[in-house]
């Protein structure tokens, strides 16, 4: 078996996925341990070097330790544990640290374009809880179209920014509760979240004076598993129609700007069962399942591979002086090793 | 999960690998893009075990 094979694969523009495969040499299932390498930017307010990686008072400090470098470290430690334990296993386990989670998830998309896996553990920060679902994300770009003119000729203009105001007001009033199961309501919540997250209009700062003929907003929606794009778009369009009823001069365009899929795995799936029983062995109590409103890379591969999400680290994340307890890293390492031993057990 | 496997895993727990690799990854800035340095670190760390 040796120590396995390590290599990198380019996704795009020089960005790399890093892979480490340990093959038992015996036929059996293929287990993926994965997480992302990229982080969000460093926030203001750190009182120490955010990249020092120091350990003090039983905590490891550093930017991105929770999202999700401790998860990746613990996955690797789990594999080393499996290898050194002498537990007889079959099949293979592959560790993959992917690129571009914060962008378009091209690292995970490319990984699954090239490779197939039977089971997966994604080490997103879940505060040591077991997640079996998360919401998706649909972006809609809405533009109001006006008529531009110099401010001196205001009488001949239709200001696209002003025409956007009733649209934003109507969107802000939205409270929508899709018809979903009680299980889903419990996991990810009953309300479909919508928010106007960005607004663009007029010329750039320092530019000439001009009444704008276009204003665009991006509406961020977070649908629960099973809620289709068409259903969400319909409530957005209805809100726009209410704005138009208030002001017949409003002319709108709506574009489906981006779709990230929701994720849900059967709570009786073998990988869920393996991680749950390992968790209970380590934690000494019964496990409960959770769901999230954030996006994992499972938005891109969750329907291609049976996956459970579990990792060290939790909210608040990306805050000054971020740190994580070493006890969580140790417990996660143990849970990952046991999960691999169970799903790959030889007999 | 049988008790034997639990015992074996407990006796071989590679926490030093987990913590050490986490520290080394934290020390490399991989803010939304330049993961390559961190990826190389993962490879290097793994190969150092060989």
**Across the interface, do A69 and B25 touch by the CB < 8 Å criterion?**
yes
Count how many domains chain B has. Answer: 1
Tell which of A260, A294, A323 closes a domain.
A260
Q: CA-CA distance, A280 to A265, in Å (whole number)?
A: 19
What kind and span of H or E run contains A164?
A: helix A160-172
pLDDT at B7 over 90: no
Q: Give the domain CATH number at A34.
A: 3.40.630.10
Average pLDDT over residues A77-99: 95
Which residue range forms the structural domain that includes residue A219? 137-260
Asked whether residue A118 falls in the same domain as residue A20, the answer is yes
pLDDT at B39 over 80: no
Q: Please enumerate in sequence order all residues whose Cβ is within 8 A of that of A136, keeping only pairs 6 or more positions apart, or say none.
A: A222, A223, A225, A227, A259, A260, A261, A262, A263, A295, A299
Mean pLDDT of chain B: 77
Assigned domain for B27 exists:
yes
Q: What is the pLDDT of residue B45?
A: 61
**Mutation for B interface: A33, A62, A64, A318, most B CBs within 10 A:** A64
Tell which of A260, A277, A310 closes a domain.
A260
Asked whether residue A241 falls in the same domain as residue A273, the answer is no
Residues of A in contact with B3 (CB under 8 A): none
Asked whether residue A17 falls in the same domain as residue A120, the answer is yes
Residues of A in contact with B33 (CB under 8 A): 15, 38, 100, 103
Q: Where are the beta strands (DSSP E) in chain A?
A: 5-10, 16-23, 30-36, 55-56, 59-61, 92-98, 119-122, 130-134, 137-145, 193-201, 214-222, 252-260, 263-264, 289-292, 306-309, 323-325
pLDDT tens per residue, range A216-228: 999 999 999 999 9
Asked whether residue A178 falls in the same domain as residue A243, the answer is yes
Q: How confident is the model at residue A244 (pLDDT cuts 50, 70, 90)?
A: very high
pLDDT tens per residue, range A164-209: 999 999 999 999 999 999 999 999 999 999 999 999 998 877 777 7
pLDDT at B22 over 60: yes
Count how many domains chain A has. Answer: 2
Which residue range forms the structural domain that includes residue B42? 14-48
A317 to chain B, any CB pair closer than 8 A? The answer is no
Asked whether residue A222 falls in the same domain as residue A109, the answer is no
Q: Give the domain CATH number at A182.
A: 3.30.70.360
| Minimum Cα–Cα distance from B37: chain A residue | A16
Asked whether residue A197 falls in the same domain as residue A218, the answer is yes
Asked whether residue A308 falls in the same domain as residue A333, the answer is yes
Average pLDDT over residues A118-131: 98
Assigned domain for B22 exists:
yes
Assigned domain for B5 exists:
no
Average pLDDT over residues A1-30: 89
Assigned domain for B2 exists:
no
Q: What is the pLDDT of residue B30?
A: 87
Tell which of A260, A279, A301 closes a domain.
A260
Q: How confident is the model at residue A52 (pLDDT cuts 50, 70, 90)?
A: very high
């Amino acid at each position: 078996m040796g120590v396995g094979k390590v290599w990198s694969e380019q996704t795009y523009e020089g960005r790399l996925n890093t892979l480490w495969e340990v093959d038992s040499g015996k036929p059996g299932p293929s287990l993926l341990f994965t997480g992302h390498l990229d982080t969000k930017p460093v926030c203001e307010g750190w009182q120490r070097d955010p990249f020092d990686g120091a350990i003090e008072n039983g905590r490891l400090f550093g930017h991105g330790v929770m999202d999700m470098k401790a998860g990746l470290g613990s996955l690797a430690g789990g594999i080393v544990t499996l290898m050194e334990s002498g537990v007889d296993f079959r099949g293979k386990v592959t560790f993959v640290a992917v690129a571009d989670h914060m962008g378009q998830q091209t690292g995970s998309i490319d990984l699954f374009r090239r490779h197939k896996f039977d089971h997966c553990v994604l080490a997103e920060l879940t505060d040591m809880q077991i997640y079996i679902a998360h919401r998706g994300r649909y972006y809609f770009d809405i533009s109001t179209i006006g008529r531009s003119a110099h401010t001196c000729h205001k009488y001949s203009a239709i200001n696209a920014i002003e025409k956007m105001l009733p649209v934003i007001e109507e969107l802000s009033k939205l409270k929508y509760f899709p018809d979903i199961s009680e299980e889903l309501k419990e996991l990810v919540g009953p309300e479909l979240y919508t928010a106007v997250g960005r607004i663009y209009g007029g010329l750039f700062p320092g530019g000439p004076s001009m009444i704008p003929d276009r204003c665009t907003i991006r509406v961020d929606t977070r649908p629960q598993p099973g809620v289709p794009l068409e259903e969400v778009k319909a409530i957005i369009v209805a809100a726009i129609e209410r704005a138009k009823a208030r002001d017949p001069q409003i002319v709108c365009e709506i574009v489906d700007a981006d779709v990230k899929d929701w994720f849900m795995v059967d709570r009786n799936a073998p990988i869920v069962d393996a991680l749950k029983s390992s968790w209970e062995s380590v934690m000494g109590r019964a496990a409960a399942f959770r769901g999230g409103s954030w996006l994992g890379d499972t938005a891109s591969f969750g329907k291609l591979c049976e996956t459970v999400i579990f990792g060290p680290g939790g909210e608040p994340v990306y805050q000054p002086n971020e740190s994580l307890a070493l006890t969580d890293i140790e417990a996660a390492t143990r849970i990952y090793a046991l999960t691999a031993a169970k799903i790959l057990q030889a007999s | 999960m049988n008790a034997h496997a639990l015992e074996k895993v407990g006796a071989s727990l590679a926490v030093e690998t987990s913590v050490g690799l986490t520290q080394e990854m934290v020390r490399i800035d991989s803010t939304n893009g330049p993961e390559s340095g961190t990826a190389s670190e993962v490879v290097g760390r793994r190969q150092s075990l060989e």
